[in-house]
Structure 1
Amino acid sequence: MVAVDSTGKVDQLRKMPESVAERRRKILVGELPPDFLRLAVPAPTAAGPVPVSVVDPATAAELEQQHQQYAAAVQQQLYGFVPPNTRGRLSVTIQEANLVKNYGLVRMDPYCRVRVGNAVFETNTVLSGGRQPAWNRTVHAYLPNNVESIYIQIFDERAFSADECIAWAHIMLPQTIFNGESVDDYFHLSGQQGEGKEGMVHLVLAFAPVENPAANIQNVDPASVPPPPQPVEITDEDTKEIVAMFPEIDKEVIRCVLEERRGDKDATVSALLEMTQSK
């Protein structure tokens, strides 16, 4: 039996907050599911044979033809603009080079530069390419009229100094490419070893004529072109009736509207009505 005095100490003890341990003892923990706090893993499926689709050779050839047509259409859009004074489109494939000397201190990283007219193209750099770099890069350029040659330069890319030109060649375009034939040949390179003694570069050259849109414009007979409409002459008699209908509008304004409507009085009256209603 608990004695309660006048101070009410028992009531004060009952009002004291419970400790954390006492609250934890009152928590009822039920049985947790087996997938509690676990990632959902998809159920394994029976591995079956991977289906292999058999493509008909005729269908494959048709798809390849469609792909080529699409590529040609995209290329036509990219090269749709033909600059003036253009002879055709030249394709230069820089295959490889066989150099006689390695000019690098440790290694040589060659790349090739091609100049066609005023256009300049560069290949990728072949790291540690040495004396036999292979690029296999094709560049396309518009060949201007009266340009009969291209200029080739081979550089050694340097990391801490300017790139060094180690070989070059001034190549005259073979006349056979202008007849629709491609030329696959080696051309001599010049450099420190002497004229044509620095090695050889392997090129594939091709040429395709292009149509200049400016040249396709046909001469039009001036007599067949309709003359521009002549201005309509407005007299005071033409404006007299309309001025009487719209006395509040200046006469010159009415004349201008009538000239704009090319003498059509009905259209002029409609326009003047809109002007008066909008005021």
Structure 2
Amino acid sequence: METEKRSDLYEEWKRRAFLGPLPQGFLGVEERNAQQQQEAADQQAALALHQLQMQNMPGMHEPHVVGRLSITIVQAKLVKNYGMTRMDPYVRMRVGHSIYETHTCSNGAKNPHWNKVIHCYLPPGVTQIYVEIYDECSFVMDELIAWGHIDIPPQVLQKGETHEDWCMLSGKQGDNQEGMINLVFSYTVKTKCHPYMNAPSVMRVPSSTVFGVSQYAPVNVYTTPPAAAAIPVVPSSLPTAEIELKQISEMFPNVDKEVIKSVYDANHGKKDITINSLLQMCE
């Protein structure tokens, strides 16, 4: 009798397991559809990122490039230190559709120094760059301190001269009232036999707006240089550069040594051309 009950119970379980109605989504069709949509979105994002990297790869769009622009971000003099501690400023610069950053000047406060040289291809029609200075923060979003649209000096583009200037910055204090940034420009006409590597580009993702100016959270997108391209050596780091820089500094005692070093690097360590460039700047 007990065996019959167990047999009947087993048959009931069997009917429920194999013959009963299947629950909704048993085959996971909806889940797979959602997963397929997510995979398609990821593929589109990857494709867009790949296209951005290809646009920033040197030599990929030869007909749309005019020449190479070198910008040395030397230092800044700001009117106010925001916050309770000394600011840690860094510069974000846009040239055409490419964006570059300096390192952070720790405790730079109102007088940060970077001495950062940026090499980039200059697209046709671009005669202006956009500069932003941020205070790097640890637990909150980096604060935008100052900004400005800066014209590339005409003599740099037309004659290939090296030009150093202090450019006014806007900010919370008002238009052209937040301080100044020291930049050195030089320009070289592009040649196909001497390709140059671009500095790492940065995608900017809008996050919030302060004082009518959009802030951006940086997402670094580093372009991969060609295997055959060598990493350029900074001329001022060479052993013989120290002696030449000292000699040039003695010739121009009223010119800041960092500016001389920047001009020296922009002219690829050529002493005579550096002296001529400094003479033009002092006129």
Q: Scaled by the length of structure 1, what TM-score is found?
A: 0.47
Q: Give the number of the structure whose residues are more often strand, by fraction.
A: 2
Q: Please say which structure displays the higher CA radius of gyration.
A: 1
Q: Scaled by the length of structure 2, what TM-score is found?
A: 0.46
Answer 1 or 2: higher relative contact order, Cα 8 Å, separation at least 6.
2
